[in-house]
């Protein structure tokens, strides 16, 4: 009997249930069958490749000079592209998630375009932008820099195709996090840059990390845009996917071995990123 | 050093004028969606009104009148906002949360941590300094949020239903804490709880449909409400006094038997609250152990809905017109107000 208080009680989230619970799931059995088929569709080709590997020659094949050069170039350019994706993608995601301005939907559509564009088309577009005869290429060349068919071109091509992965992932995380914490931080006297550095970014760090990992993985596998815009020059622009494609013509064993290396790197990268959010304590707090 | 505000936001049908003294706390009451949070959002700089002007001490927070377009961003205003949820930054420790404001104001790290420790001690949360916000209960987290807001030394503290999300056991302690820290401080507190208004605020305003419909000293607003909202919310009998083992002894010497709420310690200041509908009126003294019976002199009778409200001895009772006629009640008559002990709530003040 407390007639004086009329608190608006907010529904609190219930206690976390165990993963192996006994709740009704409502998933029909035939869905499990189709899901198994889907999983097989992904796993079988990988298994087929593993079966086809010439294990006796495996180590020499993947440690040949051209292989190591290609792998090194792939890792270096992918790392550089990921950094570029973060530098350009974080502001893009912030603007798309937080600001509102005319043409915002259009901007989002264009930023996401490389996701659905054939990479070779992206390569051609980049060539007509940064190439010798391109839109910006001429002025860049006057400054004594040539981009097309250089390692920089590889980085640009990879960034072009990988940027949407980071933007999509981070924009989603920013929208989920909401603006409540940012508003509180501002009323506590924090300038916008301080709010961004100490509140917004730390809160979406898992989203940023998984976005960066996805971008890195996409960079690692990039083929079409790189070949079109950067060519295939050993040690300069011939990344691992290009090397694999080239080896396939002459030495199938080498191609398979290198493919396996690429799969291993990709699995390691993705595995790393998808274990992290679960290991962290729930970031969203009371949400 | 006053705070003056007038602001209009047409999209939300909001138009409010308000003035606060240097150390005044004002309670804002009103139904959901009346514009109470809009008011705080406009003061904090999170919402931009269409027109109006606000001055806090020497500082003009915004001036959008007569073609002027002056609007200070939230971080330069000195108006800390405490919401219904604590909203502690989940990636920082409790201590770092409280040090956030001083750090943002440019204090050195060591200095900010020192300030944070001081305010954590002030809200009796020093032992949580190294914890993560996720490891705190709702009441503990809200205490830390209060410390975090106070650590910025705000010129105006804005509280948006700070106790609404707490369970009933945590609320009394937080209310006492707020009473202590809000003394000699300028604050605006939105609340649904008339007890908060009574205990924490010097003055109450009632906001309905984006406009102030009533304004005055808290007790006056709650005891003699003129607005429809305040009437529904309040019109309660409030008796202040000292908490005893079995209820409360009023400042006027009445012994009230009641069940004290959690956190009510004998010897403390307290307030007994009961509804006029819980009061029966008798011509002679009625006894019975669980009942309270007070001899009072009728000052006034007035219709209240389909009932008659009897004002007597600073209390009020709602009875049916038929009962009123049977008893032949008139002002100046001495009658007995009888209230069951279980109908009275006693809160620490």
Give the separation between CA A2 and CA B193, rounded to whole angstroms: 11
Q: pLDDT tens-digit profile of A206-225?
A: 899 989 998 999 999 999 99
**Contact criterion met (CB < 8 Å) for B134 and A281:** yes
* Closest CA of chain B from A276, distance in Å: 15
What pLDDT score does A56 carry? 87
Minimum CA–CA partner of B164 in chain A: A7
Minimum CA–CA partner of B273 in chain A: A4
Query: At CB < 8 A and 24+ separation, what contacts does A279-287 make?
Result: A280/A206, A281/B132, A281/B134, A282/B90, A282/B134, A283/A203, A283/A205, A283/A206, A283/B90, A283/B91, A284/A176, A284/A177, A284/B90, A285/B88, A285/B90, A285/B133, A285/B134, A286/A12, A286/A13, A286/B85, A286/B86, A287/A13
* Closest CA of chain B from A201, distance in Å: 11
- CB < 8 Å to B104, chain A: 185, 188-191, 194
Minimum CA–CA partner of A9 in chain B: B165
Identify the CA nearest to B158 among candidates A4, A8, A183, A98: A183
- What percentage of chain A carries pLDDT values higher than 70? 87
Q: State the residue range of the domain holding A213.
A: 56-279
- The pTM of this model reads 0.74
Selecting from A7, A186, A192 the residue whose C-beta is nearest the C-beta of B164 gives A7
* Closest CA of chain B from A198, distance in Å: 9
What pLDDT score does B227 carry? 66
Minimum CA–CA partner of A192 in chain B: B75
The pLDDT of residue A17 is above 70: no
As for the ipTM of the complex, it is 0.74
Give the separation between CA A65 and CA A141, rounded to whole angstroms: 32
Residue A1 lies in a domain: no
Minimum CA–CA partner of B47 in chain A: A183
**Contact criterion met (CB < 8 Å) for B91 and A205:** yes
According to DSSP, the β-strands at B247-250 and B187-190 are: unpaired
Minimum CA–CA partner of A189 in chain B: B75
Q: pLDDT tens-digit profile of B98-155?
A: 999 999 999 999 999 999 999 999 888 999 999 999 999 988 999 999 999 999 999 9
**Contact criterion met (CB < 8 Å) for B152 and A189:** yes
Identify the CA nearest to B17 among candidates B207, B200, B201, B269: B207
Selecting from B76, B100, B193 the residue whose C-beta is nearest the C-beta of A4 gives B193
What pLDDT score does B116 carry? 95
Of chain A, the end-to-end C-alpha distance in Å amounts to 31
Give the separation between CA A208 and CA A280, rounded to whole angstroms: 14
What pLDDT score does A287 carry? 33
Which of B74, B133, B349 best tests the A interface by mutation, with the highest count of A CBs <10 A? B74
Selecting from B91, B104, B165 the residue whose C-beta is nearest the C-beta of A188 gives B104
Residue A2 lies in a domain: no
- CB < 8 Å to A287, chain B: none
Give the separation between CA A264 and CA A55, rounded to whole angstroms: 15
User: Which ranges constitute the DSSP H helices of B137-235?
Assistant: 138-150, 170-182, 194-200, 218-223, 228-233
State the CATH number of the domain containing residue A227: 1.10.3720.10
Which of A184, A191, A203 best tests the B interface by mutation, with the highest count of B CBs <10 A? A184
Grouping H, G, I as helix, E, B as strand and the rest as coil, residue A191 is coil
Residue A26 lies in a domain: no
Residue A12 lies in a domain: no
Selecting from B89, B261, B273 the residue whose C-beta is nearest the C-beta of A199 gives B89
- CB < 8 Å to B274, chain A: 3
What pLDDT score does B290 carry? 63
Question: In order of start, what are the domains of chain B with their CATH numbers?
Answer: 3-233 (3.40.50.300), 237-348 (2.40.50.100)
Residue A51 lies in a domain: no
Q: Which portions of chain B are predicted below pLDDT 50?
A: none
Selecting from A5, A285, A286 the residue whose C-beta is nearest the C-beta of B195 gives A5
Selecting from A8, A185, A205 the residue whose C-beta is nearest the C-beta of B192 gives A8
Selecting from B84, B89, B345 the residue whose C-beta is nearest the C-beta of A4 gives B345
Q: pLDDT tens-digit profile of A43-80?
A: 999 999 999 888 888 888 888 888 899 999 999 999 99
What pLDDT score does B265 carry? 75
**Contact criterion met (CB < 8 Å) for A2 and B345:** yes
**Contact criterion met (CB < 8 Å) for A187 and B90:** no
What pLDDT score does B342 carry? 81
B24 Rama sector, left if φ>0, alpha if ψ -120 to 50, beta otherwise: beta
**Contact criterion met (CB < 8 Å) for B236 and A4:** yes
The pLDDT of residue A154 is above 90: yes
What pLDDT score does B305 carry? 75
**Contact criterion met (CB < 8 Å) for A285 and B163:** no
**Contact criterion met (CB < 8 Å) for A285 and B133:** yes
How many domains is chain A built from? 1
Portion 293-332 of B in contact with A at CB < 8 A: none
- CB < 8 Å to B152, chain A: 188-189
Selecting from A8, A187, A283 the residue whose C-beta is nearest the C-beta of B90 gives A283
Give the separation between CA A273 and CA A165, rounded to whole angstroms: 14
Q: Is B149 near chain A, with CB under 8 Å?
A: yes
Residue length of chain B: 349
**Contact criterion met (CB < 8 Å) for B163 and A7:** yes
Confidence tier at A16 by pLDDT (50, 70, 90)? very low
Residue A96 lies in a domain: yes
* Closest CA of chain A from B253, distance in Å: 24
Q: Is B225 near chain A, with CB under 8 Å?
A: no
Residue A203 lies in a domain: yes
Q: Could you tell me how many CB contacts below 8 A there are between chain A and chain B?
A: 119
């Amino acid at each position: 009997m407390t007639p004086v208080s009329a608190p608006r009680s907010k529904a609190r989230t219930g206690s976390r249930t165990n993963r192996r619970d006994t709740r009704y799931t409502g998933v029909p059995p035939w869905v499990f069958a189709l899901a198994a088929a889907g999983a097989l569709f992904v796993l079988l080709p990988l298994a087929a490749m593993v079966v086809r590997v010439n294990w006796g020659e495996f180590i020499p094949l993947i440690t040949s000079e051209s292989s190591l050069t290609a792998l090194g170039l792939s890792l270096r350019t992918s790392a550089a592209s990921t950094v570029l994706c973060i530098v350009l993608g974080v502001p893009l995601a912030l603007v798309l998630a937080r600001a509102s301005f005319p043409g915002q939907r259009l901007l989002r559509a264009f930023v996401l375009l490389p996701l659905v564009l054939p990479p070779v088309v992206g390569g051609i577009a980049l060539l007509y932008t940064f190439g010798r005869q391109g839109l910006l290429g001429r002025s860049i060349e006057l400054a004594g820099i040539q981009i097309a068919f250089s390692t920089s071109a590889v980085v640009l091509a990879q960034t072009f195709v990988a940027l949407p992965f980071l933007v999509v992932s981070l924009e989603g995380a920013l929208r989920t996090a909401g603006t409540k914490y940012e508003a509180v931080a501002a009323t506590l006297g924090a300038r916008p840059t301080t709010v961004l550095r100490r509140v917004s970014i730390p809160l979406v760090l898992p989203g940023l990390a998984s976005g960066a990992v996805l971008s890195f993985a996409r960079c690692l596998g990039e083929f079409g845009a790189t070949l079109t815009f950067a060519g295939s020059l050993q040690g300069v622009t011939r990344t691992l996917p290009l090397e694999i494609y080239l080896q396939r013509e002459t030495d199938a064993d080498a191609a398979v071995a290198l493919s396996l290396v690429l799969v291993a790197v990709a699995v390691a990268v993705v595995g790393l990123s998808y274990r992290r959010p679960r290991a962290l304590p729930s970031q969203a707090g009371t949400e | 050093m006053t705070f003056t505000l007038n602001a209009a936001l047409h999209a939300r049908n909001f138009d409010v004028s308000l003035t606060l003294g240097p150390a005044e706390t004002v309670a804002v009451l009103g139904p959901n969606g009346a514009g109470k949070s809009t008011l705080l959002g406009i003061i904090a700089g999170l919402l931009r009104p269409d027109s109006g002007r606000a001055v806090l001490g020497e500082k003009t927070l915004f001036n959008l009148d007569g073609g002027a377009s002056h609007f200070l961003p939230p971080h330069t205003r000195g108006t800390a906002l405490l919401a219904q949820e604590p909203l502690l930054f989940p990636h920082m420790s409790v201590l770092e949360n409280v040090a956030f404001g001083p750090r943002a104001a440019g204090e050195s790290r060591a200095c900010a941590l020192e300030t944070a420790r001081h305010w954590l001690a002030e809200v009796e949360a020093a032992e949580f300094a190294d914890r993560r916000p996720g490891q705190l209960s709702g009441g503990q987290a809200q205490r830390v949020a209060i410390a975090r807001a106070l650590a910025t030394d705000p010129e105006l503290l804005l509280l948006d239903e700070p106790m609404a999300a707490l369970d009933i056991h945590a609320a009394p302690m937080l209310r006492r804490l707020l009473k202590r820290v809000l003394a000699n401080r300028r604050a605006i507190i939105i609340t649904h709880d008339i007890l908060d208004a009574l205990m924490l605020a010097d003055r109450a305003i009632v906001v309905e449909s984006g406009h102030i419909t009533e304004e005055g000293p808290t007790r006056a607003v709650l005891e003699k409400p003129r607005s429809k909202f305040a009437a529904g919310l309040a019109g309660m009998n409030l008796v202040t006094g000292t908490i005893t083992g079995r209820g409360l002894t009023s400042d006027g010497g009445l012994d009230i038997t009641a069940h004290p709420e959690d956190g009510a310690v004998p010897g403390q200041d307290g307030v007994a609250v009961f509804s006029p509908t819980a009061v029966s009126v008798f011509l002679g003294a009625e006894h019975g152990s669980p009942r309270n019976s007070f001899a009072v002199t009728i000052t006034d009778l007035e219709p209240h809905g389909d009932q008659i409200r009897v004002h007597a001895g600073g209390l009020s009772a709602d009875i049916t017109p038929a009962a009123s006629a049977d008893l032949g009640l008139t002002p100046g008559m001495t009658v007995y107000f009888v209230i069951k002990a279980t109908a009275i709530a006693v809160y620490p003040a």
